């Protein structure tokens, strides 16, 4: 009798049942269905009821390693725990989200499990029992399809842009487990909590981002912040604006910044370099304001205004506030 295929999804209890977890779970469920197998969820650290219930609704088995040592991320401890929880016969794939922990763990976990690995996966298909995944290439200018031939295929997916799973109705079992954790080889001497105002950029529904064309930090403070607040949007920026020190580095959207997928993304004075597009191309509706009609961003947006932002932003904010109201 052939062995049942298993897809594992790995989540961090500290993130809860957020958009990222929902997206990983959706991708895992669909992959398990394509393989005709089971979906098993693995949670590191204490897990809230909402996370347990959300996972149990769509997976056959949920295993929570709720030990206190796993509550805060420690790379080698998390790696040891995941390797322990993901090892096993029949495990075809292991999926993680697009948070920084997962991005760090995926290649190491693949090596530990003797599998193959892929980053930034946008789509997963199964053909003749083989897992193929699509991701962007050349800084977002092309798409590439890879076949992951060695099991398990360990991937991090663009979780926030992926559809949730349809509830299966079958309540999966939820089990607590305690793992023998490795002695940490890395000593964390201190932690700095990112100052969080409003929702995280990755979870924002509306984002207003500014670029080099704003010319300095003042317009971010004076023109954008107040207006973003009016429409309840979070603020982002291009790398050029972050590198210039006009706004904090954690505002950066793009290949080397945050990957966002809001309902609406407004790019103000951002040219639309491929590295920026890579971080926000999954937005539902993209709009841009730019003085240059040839700016690449206009090729990727639903709405574009060729004009100086100083003239447009006040009018647009007023209109958006009315519509939102
Ligand atoms: P510019 O390209 O200089 O564009 C400014 C725009 O403002 C222009 O289009 C101009 O017409 C417009 N403008 C000027 N004045 C006005 C005005 N008054 N009103 C309206 N419009 C105006 N970039 C990222 O953003 N995120 C990343 O994660 C990232 N990662 C990178 C990784 C690598 C390995 C590399 C090599 C680059 C990366 N970059 C990234 C940098 C990227 O290539 C671009 O340099 C950067 O995105 C440009 O930022 P910008 O659009 O703000 O600036």
Give the strand pairing for 61-65 and 38-44. Answer: parallel
DSSP 256: T
- Return the bridge partners of 155, or none: 95, 118
| Tokens of residue 321, six digits | 């506030």
Q: d(Cα 63, Cα 10) in Å, to the nearest integer? A: 10
The verdict on the CB of residue 275 being under 6 Å from ligand 1 is: yes
Nearest CA to ligand 1 atom 35: 275
Q: Say how many Å lie between the CA of residue 23 and the centre of ligand 1.
A: 29
Average pLDDT, the chain: 92
pLDDT value for 1: 54
Instruction: Count CB neighbours of 274 within 10 A.
Output: 17
| Residue from 141, 222, 223, 238 to probe ligand 1 pocket by mutation (most atoms less than 8 Å from CB) | 238
Q: Indicate which atom in ligand 1 lies nearest the CA of residue 255.
A: 28
DSSP of 213-252, one letter per residue? GG-SHHHIIIIIIHHHHHTT-EEEE-HHHHHTTSS-GGGB
Cβ(270) to ligand 1 under 6 A? yes
Candidate from 249, 270, 299 with most ligand 1 atoms within 8 A of CB, to mutate = 270
User: How crowded is residue 128: how many other Cβ atoms within 10 Å of its Cβ?
Assistant: 6
Q: What is the pTM of this model?
A: 0.81
Place of tokens 């029949």: 90
- Residue 243, ligand 1, Cβ within 6 A: no
pLDDT score at 145:
97
- How far from the centroid of its chain's Cα atoms is residue 322's Cα? 31
77-130 pLDDT, tens digit per residue, is 999 999 999 999 899 999 999 888 999 999 999 999 999 999 999 999 999 989
From first to last of its 325 residues, the chain has per-residue pLDDT tens of 568 999 999 999 999 999 899 999 999 999 999 999 999 999 999 999 999 999 999 999 999 999 999 999 999 999 999 999 999 989 999 999 988 899 999 999 999 999 999 999 999 999 998 999 999 888 777 899 999 999 999 999 999 888 899 877 767 899 999 999 999 998 889 888 777 677 788 889 999 999 999 999 999 998 888 788 888 899 999 999 999 999 999 999 998 899 899 999 999 999 999 999 989 988 999 999 999 999 999 999 999 999 999 999 888 888 877 887 6
Residues 6+ apart with CB under 8 A from 127: none
Give 239-273 pLDDT, tens digit per residue: 999 999 999 999 999 988 998 999 999 999 999 99
Select from 163, 134, 160, 145 the least CA-distant residue to 283: 160
Return d(Cα 12, Cα 102) in angstroms, integer. Answer: 9
pLDDT of residue 100: 87
């Amino acid at each position: 009798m052939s062995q049942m295929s298993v897809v594992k999804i790995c989540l961090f209890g500290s993130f809860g049942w957020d958009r990222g977890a929902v997206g990983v779970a959706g991708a895992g469920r669909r992959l398990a269905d394509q393989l005709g197998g089971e979906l098993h969820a693995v949670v590191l650290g204490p897990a809230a009821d909402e996370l347990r219930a959300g996972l149990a609704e769509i997976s056959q088995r949920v295993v929570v390693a709720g030990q206190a040592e796993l509550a805060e991320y420690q790379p080698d401890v998390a790696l040891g725990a995941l390797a322990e929880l993901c090892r096993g016969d029949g495990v075809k794939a292991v999926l993680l989200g697009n948070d920084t922990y997962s991005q760090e763990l995926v290649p190491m976990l693949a090596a530990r499990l003797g599998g193959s690995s892929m980053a930034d996966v946008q789509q997963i298909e199964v053909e003749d029992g083989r897992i193929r995944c699509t991701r962007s290439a050349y800084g977002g200018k092309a798409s590439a399809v890879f076949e992951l031939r060695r099991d398990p295929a360990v991937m991090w997916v663009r979780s926030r842009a992926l559809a949730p799973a349809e509830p299966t109705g079958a309540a999966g079992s939820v089990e607590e487990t305690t793992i023998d954790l490795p002695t940490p080889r890395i000593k964390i001497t201190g932690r700095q909590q990112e100052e969080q105002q409003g929702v995280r950029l990755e979870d924002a529904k509306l984002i207003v981002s500014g670029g080099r064309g704003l010319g300095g930090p003042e317009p971010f403070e004076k023109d954008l912040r107040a207006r973003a607040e009016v429409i309840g949007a979070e603020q982002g920026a291009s790398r050029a604006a972050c590198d210039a020190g006009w706004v904090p580095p954690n505002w950066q959207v793009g290949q080397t910044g945050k990957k966002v997928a809001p309902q609406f993304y407004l790019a103000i004075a951002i040219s639309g370099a491929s590295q920026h597009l890579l971080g926000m191309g999954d937005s539902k509706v993209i709009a841009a304001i730019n003085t240059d009609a040839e700016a690449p961003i206009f090729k990727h947006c639903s709405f574009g205004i060729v004009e100086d932002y100083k003239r447009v932003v006040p009018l647009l904010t007023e209109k958006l506030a009315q519509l939102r109201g």
